[in-house]
Structure 1
């Protein structure tokens, strides 16, 4: 679909809502903004535009503004939610995210198979799942640091956030947690602290424009294989956010986890249905 048809066949409020969910992937531990963008069908258009930034520039700006507004809102809103949810409500929130992602997976599976599938695609998907799961398990167990906030460390955080867009399934907040800067980042986003937001933005822009061409080339040459790779990565990252700690939980807390999961799955399925409608 060309940019003129995209601008004509759209629901701006729905696009803002999608942006909010993508923005949540930059701040909620374990969640990937790139994976959510892929599930919503906006990952490839973003990569194509960033790799060819001058082509239909103003039309693309007009098209992506609602997503950008939603992304900023998602960052700010979920920064506050994360601050409140860190503790007892975090488990319930994460189950809701697991449900949302699983509810949208059928849409991503259809997207991956648009050009057909073969045995190699399945092998790549399973290999990506196992490899990324192993890397994430290793990182969560052995990589810990305590980096002091500075222009350079915030710049690195921005680069990680950009990688979370470019590499679906990669959760930047996990790595920022490993750096020991997650609490400071959530605080900075919730207050829109420019001393942190500006270097984070610069790190993100440098990373995106450095790698977008590479990602776009891979898409152009190996669409099916790359999308099945993405599917495997999304599955691995989803496994990693399934809560494992239930200390102090009562029966009603488990019920709320189930309610959160079902509500998230319903929301994800409904949103992927809307995405199919507006494609």
Structure 2
């Protein structure tokens, strides 16, 4: 990757990843997968190893930079950071003001993304089909679970950080939603807001340990069991469609840090039942249009990627 256009496209992919990470139920890992940088991202994270620390200790900064694929990580993180700073408020506002249209857009995006990812399976068999079904079942179970009451002990906060950061790089599963399931979403937000340094450090350490170890596991699975791993990950994405279904009815609510009532646990309803059960307009035709938009956007990205990288 040496051309300016390559770096610019990578920056845009980072922006897309950051945008996805601020959306409940949508994973930045999904964007990394459909834009073709997932394995490179895993390998770059995995390269933060003993050799990297040896380079750092001996101040061999150039060797360290090349070893960890520094330019790739820097450009990608710059895109993610830009997105979080500039787009987070826009996306959250749209989710509040036009939730059905936004969720429909992501629904269409994930459907076509899962289909495109299935193309990466080089050889089909009963094992691959089982892997897809396992991924679907796991994602459905996680995304349909009710948030639990959990301890505030340091060890659990560490585990919550490790698991949540792993979910953020898994296609189809949102790290923020994992924190919600663990009962630590508001806890972590309050810790950041109130600058509880110890809690932030414990959570951050869990994130670091989680992503460094988990990236190695997933990378190993890609190398040894590529077809099965792709099957499971595509299954995660298909199973996550339950979470991004546009028409939902709140069953349980909670009060966020701004004092606003937000849905804690929701159930999906059919569009024709949405009005009678919630009293709100289902916007069915608009939802179809936005779902088609997400579908076509991913197709366009796939075609552009194929044009710019014909060898792939």
Please give the range of the TM-score, normalised by the shorter of the 2 chains.
0.7 to 0.9
1:91 aligns with 2:86: no
Gaps of 5+ in 1: 1-5
CA displacement at 1:19 relative to structure 2: 1.1
Give deviations 1:232-276, integer Å, cap 9, x for gaps: 11110123211232434337x333322321222221211122222
Instruction: Name the structure with the higher strand share.
Output: 2
CA displacement at 1:206 relative to structure 2: 2.1
CA distance in 2, matches of 1:32, 1:258: 22
Answer whether contact 2:140 2:239 (CA < 8 A) is retained: yes
Q: What's the TM-score, normalizing by structure 1?
A: 0.78
Answer whether contact 2:101 2:286 (CA < 8 A) is retained: yes
Pick from 97, 120, 127: which aligns with 1:120? 127
CA displacement at 1:110 relative to structure 2: 1.8
Pick from 221, 224, 242: which aligns with 2:224? 221
CA displacement at 1:74 relative to structure 2: 2.7
Instruction: Name the structure with the higher helix share.
Output: 1
Pick from 253, 266, 271: which aligns with 2:296? 266
1:105 aligns with 2:114: yes
The within-5 A match list for 1:228-247 is: 228-245=231-248, 246=274, 247=278
Answer whether contact 2:161 2:204 (CA < 8 A) is retained: yes
3-state SS in 2 of match to 1:208: helix
CA distance in 2, matches of 1:276, 1:194: 47
Give deviations 1:208-241, integer Å, cap 9, x for gaps: 1122222222221111111111111111012321
- State the partner residue of 1:163: 166
Answer whether contact 1:124 1:225 (CA < 8 A) is retained: yes
CA distance in 2, matches of 1:39, 1:88: 28
Pick from 233, 256, 272: which aligns with 2:286? 256
CA displacement at 1:80 relative to structure 2: 0.9
3-state SS in 2 of match to 1:243: coil
Query: With CA pairs under 8 Å and 6+ residues apart, which has the higher RCO, 1 or 2?
Result: 1
- State the partner residue of 1:34: 29
CA distance in 2, matches of 1:228, 1:93: 27
Q: What's the TM-score, normalizing by structure 2?
A: 0.71
Please tell me the root mean square deviation across aligned C-alpha atoms, in Å. Answer: 3.3
CA distance in 2, matches of 1:197, 1:67: 24
- State the partner residue of 1:132: 139
Bigger Rg, which one = 2
- State the partner residue of 2:10: 15
